[in-house]
Amino acid sequence: MTTSSAAIDTPARHNQMSAALTFIMAAACGLIVANLYYAQPLAGPIAAAIGLPPHLTGLIVTLTQIGYGLGLLFIVPLGDLLENRRLIVIMIGAATVALIAAGLSTDAVPFLIASLAIGLASTAVQMIVPFAASLAPEEHRGRVVGNVMSGLMIGIMMARPVASFITGLSSWHTIFYLSAAVMVVLGFILAIRLPKRVPHTKLSYGALLVSLGTLYATQPVLRRRAFYQFCQFAAFSLFWTVTPLVLAGPAFNLSQAGIAIFALVGVAGAVASPIAGRLADRGLSRPATVFGIASVGIAFLITHIAPEGSIALILLGAAAVLLDFGVAMTLVISQRAIYSLGAELRSRLNGLFMATFFLGGALGSAVGAWAFAQGGWLFASTIGIALPVVALAYFLGERKPRQHKA
């Protein structure tokens, strides 16, 4: 393992991860991951246009999420087997085709197939992050991962309001065509600017997939960090699923445009990513993790200080920033920790970690919508508070690791 790690990390010393390359990889992460979220605020208009019954509208988002989850487990591990630059460019090409297919669709079945393909192809973003970690020297790895992840978080938060804004000016087809054009340009840039990285793993694809179970069973840092982030992203998804319903309700009566503007507030939380990376590089992962997890719980608590009115709206906005800050901080700290487990394992580790992360998000969205329907914001936010409390209790019960910073 040590020999393979050294061999794979050699490009980092020769190429040196420049600020320009870090920016390109961060921008790529944001632009690619946004493809997962463009359809969320447009599900209603899209369903009406393609003849999808109202009770099946959720499939527009669900199939994209299923595709992404499958890609994390079955495609992302290929980053430990195949040359990374070529694999990333191929996936971006596949995303381009899927986006064009979605934009051209006039019937439900072709659109839903395209949605599944968009999710699968968008897993390219989870190949870029470990690639960036491999290019970075050990002493700056947290900073580089944090900077790249800031692009990913901005992409997640910007996708919904951008899709709503562009659709308001044109139609829902336009956002898919524009994103496809962006993917073409991005693919050319990455093909030119990314260095070549050939993994030294000798496993077959089947053996690579079988090794996923072994890795999960034998890497306590991975299991622990995945659980923390499961809880964090579940709370994040619950918040952003329920908040639009709260804002559109009688307490605030915001329009769709107002809700889109509110969503932009959360982007400020992305500043946590580079901060978290620097803290991890300085050996402060544990206190940063406590702060990040606690921030999510506190974010839900402050929404109850004022029940309605302008003060309540301001507090809800502050909660959005704090929550996004906490989730981004623990995400970067966790990725920094699992990437230290071995260069030849990074794609598989990242696939397992992000699959667990994603599962938490899917569960949070489903539970949040149900809880809000059953008991309003009080019930939903109570669950939102419980999730980071569970994560923090588990974290505080862990012994400080001896070999890896967690």
CA distance 92 to 27: 14
Query: Could you count the other beta carbons within 10 Å of the beta carbon of residue 233?
Result: 26
CA distance 315 to 399: 36
Q: Dihedrals φ, ψ of 198, to 5°? A: -105, 115
CA distance 275 to 283: 13
CA distance 175 to 190: 22
Q: Determine contact, residues 363/27, Cβ cutoff 8 Å.
A: no
Query: Could you count the other beta carbons within 10 Å of the beta carbon of residue 267?
Result: 18
Sequence-separated (6 or more) residues with CB below 8 Å from residue 192 = none
CA distance 222 to 219: 5
Report which of 280, 42, 248 is spatially closest to residue 149, judged by C-alpha positions.
Answer: 280
Would you write out the chain's pLDDT as a tens digit for each of its 406 residues?
A: 333 333 344 444 445 578 899 999 999 999 999 999 898 778 778 988 999 887 777 788 878 888 998 999 899 999 888 999 999 999 999 999 999 999 999 999 999 999 999 999 999 999 998 898 888 887 778 888 888 888 888 898 889 889 888 888 889 999 999 999 999 999 999 999 999 988 877 788 888 889 899 999 999 999 999 999 999 999 998 898 888 888 888 888 887 678 778 878 877 777 777 888 788 888 888 999 999 999 999 999 999 998 777 899 999 999 999 998 999 899 989 988 898 888 788 889 988 998 898 888 888 888 888 888 899 999 999 999 999 999 999 998 776 655 444 4
DSSP state of 107: S
CA distance 65 to 391: 24
Q: Distances from the Cα of 336 to the Cαs of 82, 142, 332, 360, in angstroms?
A: 22, 6, 6, 20
Host H or E run for residue 252: none
Alpha helices in 75-140 (DSSP H): 84-104, 108-121, 125-135
Q: Which amino acid is at 55?
A: H
- Tokens, residue 303: 């929404």
Query: Could you count the other beta carbons within 10 Å of the beta carbon of residue 402?
Result: 5
What structural domains and CATH numbers belong to the chain? Answer: 2-396 (1.20.1250.20)
86: left (phi over 0), alpha (psi -120 to 50) or beta: alpha
- 105: helix, strand or coil: coil
CA 84 to chain centre: 20
